[in-house]
Amino acid sequence: MGLRLHVNELLKINPAPSPWPRMVVCAFATMIPLIVGTALHQLPISIFGALFGFLLVLNDHLGTLGHRLWVITLTFLCLLAGLTLGVLTGGQKVLLIPLLLGLTYWLGLISTQGAELERAVLFSVFQILAGAYSPAVAKYLSLSLVYAFLGYLCVIVALSILVFVRRHNPNPFARIRETFKKSLTKEKSRHLYALSFSLAVLITLLVVDYFQMSHGYWAVGTVLIIMRPEAKASIYRIIQRFFGTLVGVLVAELIILSVHSVWIAIPLIGFISFWGPWSLSRSYWLGSAVIVTMLLVLLDLPSIETGDLHTPLIRLQATGIGCLFGLLGVVMANPQVLWRDNPPPS
Domain total of the chain: 2
Distance of CA 58 to the CA centre of its chain: 9
Same domain, 192 and 277: yes
Q: Would the pLDDT of 342 be above 60? A: no
Residue ending a domain, among 108, 142, 169, is: 169
Same domain, 131 and 266: no
* Highest-scoring range by mean pLDDT, 17-21, 66-70, 238-242: 238-242
Residue ending a domain, among 109, 140, 169, is: 169
Same domain, 102 and 147: yes
Percent of the chain residues past pLDDT 70, beyond the cut: 93
150, exposed or middle or buried, with CB in 10 Å at 0-12, 13-18, 19+? buried
Tens digits of residue pLDDT in 76-131: 999 999 999 999 998 899 999 999 999 999 999 888 666 788 889 999 999 999 99
| Angle (CA) 33 19 240, round 5° | 85
Q: Would the pLDDT of 243 be above 60? A: yes
Same domain, 191 and 130: no
pTM over 0.85: yes
Q: Would the pLDDT of 273 be above 80? A: yes
Q: Would the pLDDT of 74 be above 70? A: yes
Q: Which residues contact 309 (CB under 8 A, 6 or more apart)?
A: 253, 256, 257
**58-79: average pLDDT:** 88
- pLDDT score for 346: 47
| 102-106, 211-215, 242-246: the lowest-pLDDT one | 211-215
Whether residue 7 lies inside any domain: the answer is no
Whether residue 9 lies inside any domain: the answer is no
CB-based contact 258:216 (threshold 8 Å): no
Q: What radius of gyration, in Å, describes the C-alpha atoms of the chain?
A: 20
Task: Name the residue among 209, 231, 208 with its Cα closest to residue 319.
Answer: 208
| 31-45, 178-192, 213-227, 323-337: the lowest-pLDDT one | 178-192
CA-to-CA separations, 107 to 180, 255, 297, 333, in angstroms, rounded: 11, 35, 29, 14
Q: Would the pLDDT of 19 be above 50? A: yes
Same domain, 62 and 105: yes
Q: Would the pLDDT of 344 be above 70? A: no
Q: How confident is the model at residue 136 (pLDDT cuts 50, 70, 90)?
A: confident
Q: Would the pLDDT of 313 be above 70? A: yes
Same domain, 191 and 137: no
CB-based contact 165:114 (threshold 8 Å): no
Q: Would the pLDDT of 13 be above 70? A: yes
Whether residue 12 lies inside any domain: the answer is no
CB-based contact 46:36 (threshold 8 Å): yes
Same domain, 208 and 131: no
- pLDDT score for 174: 64
The domain containing residue 323 runs over which residues? 187-337
Same domain, 138 and 241: no
- pLDDT score for 336: 78
